[in-house]
Structure formats: structure tokens, C-alpha cells
Amino acid sequence: MTVLPVLESPDFPSALKNLRKELQLSRTALADKVGLSTAAIQRYEATDNSHIKPSPQAYERLVRVLAELQVKSTVQPAVRMRPAPAMMDPLPQTELATPVLPAILLTDATLEQLIARAKILGAKKVTIEF
């Protein structure tokens, strides 16, 4: 099952964007799953002069990851019909666990991962100056 049109198709940018939104993924979330930068995803989706085509390797990763996510999204509704007992009794606000942070050293993290980590920790806005 092909989830995206061929690279040369003029429909590729809009198809990628529509599928990403259908799967309820941000550009950053998709970039993390595929192993690309958020900027690359944005430029693949662009319909103006900033549009670029992904490399054949990046295209293959996009297709593979999006296909896997599509399969998972079609399977999940059946699972949601029978929620686990823990889901029915939410924990009081005082007993909620802290968010799970990925086990990545800050020195090894990408810019997108640093921003995501700051937002998990409660940052409303992240500004980076060079």
C-alpha cells in the first residue's frame, strides 16, 4: 500500500501534509519518528519556493513510517472500546507521575529534542539565539 504519491508528483507536498494531519502528528513529531529535521518536513510540505523534494532514502523512510502509523491508527479504535480498569479511575491530581523524559543526554540531543524537552518540563515558549 503506497501512502504517498511518487516524489515527482505535484501532489506530494499536500498529500504529505494531509496524511500527517490525519494521523494527528506535528511536523516535529513526524520528523522525530522518521529521523529528519522539522525544517525538512516543513520544506517537503511547502507549496511555495521553499519546497524541496526528499532524497530517495528520506522518501522511503517517510513512506515506511507513515504506513506503520496508518496501520496502528486503524487498529487502535478496537482497542479503545475496552479500556483498562486503570483508565476508568484516574489518579488524583497529587498522585500524577511526572512526565517521562527520553533517556537522551542533553549534549547529544538535537535542537528539536531540546525544545520538546523544555516544553515537557512546562516551558510555554522557547527562544534560541546564536
- The percentage of the chain sitting over the pLDDT mark of 90, rounded to a whole number, equals 36
Rounded CA gap, 102 and 30, in Å?
16
Q: Which domains does the chain have, with CATH numbers?
A: 1-80 (1.10.260.40), 100-130 (no CATH)
> CB within 8 A of 111, min separation 6: which ones?
128
**Confidence band of 104 (pLDDT split at 50, 70, 90):** low
Q: Which cell numbers hold the place of 126?
A: 522557547
pLDDT at 71: 87
- Number of H-type helices and E-type strands within the chain: 6, 0
Lowest mean pLDDT among 4-8, 82-86, 113-117, 123-127: 82-86
Rounded CA gap, 15 and 120, in Å?
30
Rounded CA gap, 57 and 44, in Å?
14
Is this structure's pTM higher than 0.75? no
pLDDT at 109: 76
